[in-house]
């Protein structure tokens, strides 16, 4: 398990980069007012866009904040939560002797940013499972499911950046997920702004 909690970060001011998959998840005013990176959907898009951006602009930020929708089979739709632990849901090389979710020849099965974060107004420190398949079937374990967070966390690990993901639960990760997601994609932005963004602005 990787933990970034041992890395002591002391900043007087939070300088975040906000990362979203789709512009529809936030307002146009938010995009114009703040540093916002729109990556597109999925692990490949999010890895490429964040890596490219940090390679050119890393010194401008001390915290990467991801916001987006997610499904969950144990949290009700409308929940707004923080995720600080991340698994790559698609990775399964157990026949080669590796643990479920473990990338072969890497030590970590989970990326853990739960300790030492410079900003987290919720502090539930939940776990997110990231995969390129939109979850619509019943699973035999409880979770929060998205399509970008693990990839973003992995980039932040490699750049030694602080990272946190805030998720608005848009659907139940079941056979109604597609319809529920389309109805709720923009609903979480108000909670995100009031709980996360305004909290940062008050610290300035």
**Which SS3 state, helix, strand or coil, does residue 89 take?**
coil
- Quick check: is 131 in a domain? yes
Residue % of the chain over a pLDDT of 70: 84
- Quick check: is 36 in a domain? yes
pLDDT of 173 reads 56
**Which SS3 state, helix, strand or coil, does residue 28 take?**
helix
User: Domain limits at 22?
Assistant: 12-203
Tokens of 45: 């898009």
- Quick check: is 199 in a domain? yes
For 36-50, what is each residue's pLDDT tens digit? 999 999 999 999 999
For 5-34, what is each residue's pLDDT tens digit? 444 444 458 999 999 999 989 999 999 999
- Quick check: is 6 in a domain? no
- Quick check: is 37 in a domain? yes
- CATH number of 19's domain: 3.40.50.1580
Q: Whole-angstrom Cα distance, residue 162 to residue 176? A: 34
Q: Stretch 52-74: mean pLDDT, rounded?
A: 95
In eight-state DSSP terms, residue 102 is P
Query: How many domains does the chain fold into?
Result: 1
Interior CA angle at 24 toward 18 and 28, to 5°? 70
Q: Is residue 178 pLDDT above 80, yes or no?
A: no
Q: Is residue 163 pLDDT above 50, yes or no?
A: yes
User: Model pTM?
Assistant: 0.86
- Quick check: is 1 in a domain? no
111-112 and 80-88 as β-strands: parallel, antiparallel, unpaired? antiparallel
Greatest mean pLDDT range, 40-44, 69-73, 114-118? 40-44
Q: For residue 81, give the H/E element and its range.
A: strand 80-88
């Amino acid at each position: 398990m990787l933990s970034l909690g041992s890395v002591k970060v002391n900043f007087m001011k939070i300088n975040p980069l906000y990362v979203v998959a789709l512009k529809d998840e936030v307002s146009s005013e938010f995009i114009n007012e703040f540093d916002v990176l729109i990556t597109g959907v999925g692990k490949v898009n999010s890895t490429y866009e964040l890596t490219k951006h940090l390679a050119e602009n890393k010194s401008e930020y001390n915290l990467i904040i991801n916001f987006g929708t997610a499904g969950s089979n144990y949290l009700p739709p409308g929940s707004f939560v923080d995720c600080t632990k991340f698994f790559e849901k698609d990775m399964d090389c157990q026949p080669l002797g590796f643990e479920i979710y473990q990338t072969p020849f890497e030590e970590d099965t989970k990326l853990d940013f739960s300790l030492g974060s410079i900003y987290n107004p919720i502090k539930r420190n939940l776990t997110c499972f990231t995969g390129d398949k939109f979850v619509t079937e019943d699973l035999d374990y409880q979770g929060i499911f998205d399509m970008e967070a693990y990839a973003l966390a992995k980039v932040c690990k490699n750049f030694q950046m602080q990272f946190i993901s805030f998720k608005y639960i848009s659907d139940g990760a079941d056979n109604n997920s597609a319809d529920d997601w389309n109805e709720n994609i923009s609903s979480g932005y108000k909670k995100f702004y009031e709980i996360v963004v305004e909290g940062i602005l008050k610290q300035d």
